[in-house]
Amino acid sequence: MRTALSSQPEELTRLLADVGSVHEAAERVRGRSIVLVGIGTSWHAAQHGAWLLRAAGVVAEAAHAADLAPYGWRPGPEQAVVQLSHTAQTGYSMEVLERAREAGVPTIQISGIGAGGDLETVAMERSYAYTSSHTAALLRLAQLSTILGADLGPLGAVPGAVARVLEAPSRVTEIPDRLVEAIGAGPNAWTAQEASLKIREASYVAAEGLSSEQFFHGPSVALDERDLLLVLDGGGPMAARTEAIASAVEVGGAGVVRLSERDLGEALSIFPLTAHVQRVALEFAEARGVSPDRFRYEENPDREQAFETVGF
């Protein structure tokens, strides 16, 4: 995971120079409403992608593949489907993609190098805690949105912003006794959910991620001195409200760490803020002396068999 994490600035720089396939993909879906589909981290990427595409005036929505495939969903004739999968092997996501192809609507698959996708990201990661493939998928979505007309800000500055986060001193140095809560507004509500997923799967620390407003209306009451609140601040119209919520929680004794990335604008803040939470997940794993890479399979050989029985 550490190797993949540190590779991100270089990989993002490489992808910025590789836009030919993105132009081709953009023309296939231009003028259509778009459904973005994924599971796990790729579902969070789908949500980010919907935000970015809406900035281009595209009618875009994100959907979890398990809310579509088992229920017989098929795209309408005026739609297009963007499917995200690190490995192009995720069962429900692949089922949705195949149905879209059978229906004859345009599709774009974003996946790792060699997985057969339309827009490739990075080489398959060895760690199951996906980092570089996630930010690479986000960059592909940002490129697609820009070609379709979005003004997202200085996309070329993204690799440098991610590098700065990875090189900076650690902002989160202590693991809380009970819970890490991550909050963010707008697109960073989904960065907060990715923070929760990554912290749990890499370090096995209890974590939750919510939009700032959803957190405030009920869940905020539970936090106290045993907990840590990560505040993901990308600017935007909800920034002051998010800070007010964080300050209120701080009065109740919870630790609060504010991670602010406003220089690129709210839309592109998802990149450095994602790097922040990836670092937290990895550093928690290293502090606890656990592997972030293998879903705890090394602890219990029966776990791997059980998970493989369920299937991915």
Q: How far is CA 33 from the centre of its chain?
A: 22
Q: How far is CA 136 from the centre of its chain?
A: 10
CB of 281 within 8 A of CB of 202? yes
Strand partners, 80: 34
Predicted pLDDT at 297: 84
Cα(237)–Cα(257) distance, integer angstroms: 20
CB of 259 within 8 A of CB of 171? yes
All structural domains of the chain: 2-152 (3.40.50.10490), 160-288 (3.40.50.10490)
Cα(233)–Cα(259) distance, integer angstroms: 6
CB of 295 within 8 A of CB of 303? yes
Q: What is the DSSP letter of 36?
A: E
Burial (CB count <10 Å: 0-12, 13-18, 19+), residue 210: buried
User: pLDDT 10s per residue in the chain (312 long)?
Assistant: 999 999 999 999 999 999 999 999 999 999 999 999 999 999 999 999 999 999 999 999 999 999 999 999 999 999 999 999 988 887 999 999 999 999 999 999 999 999 999 999 999 999 999 999 999 999 999 999 999 999 999 999 999 999 999 999 999 989 999 999 999 999 999 999 999 999 999 999 999 999 999 999 999 999 999 999 999 999 999 999 999 999 999 999 999 999 999 999 999 999 999 999 999 999 999 999 999 998 888 888 888 888 888 877
| CA separation, residue 185 to residues 6, 179, 216, 245, 267 (Å) | 27, 20, 12, 11, 11
Angle among Cα 65, 162, 223 to the nearest 5 degrees reads 65
Predicted pLDDT at 305: 84
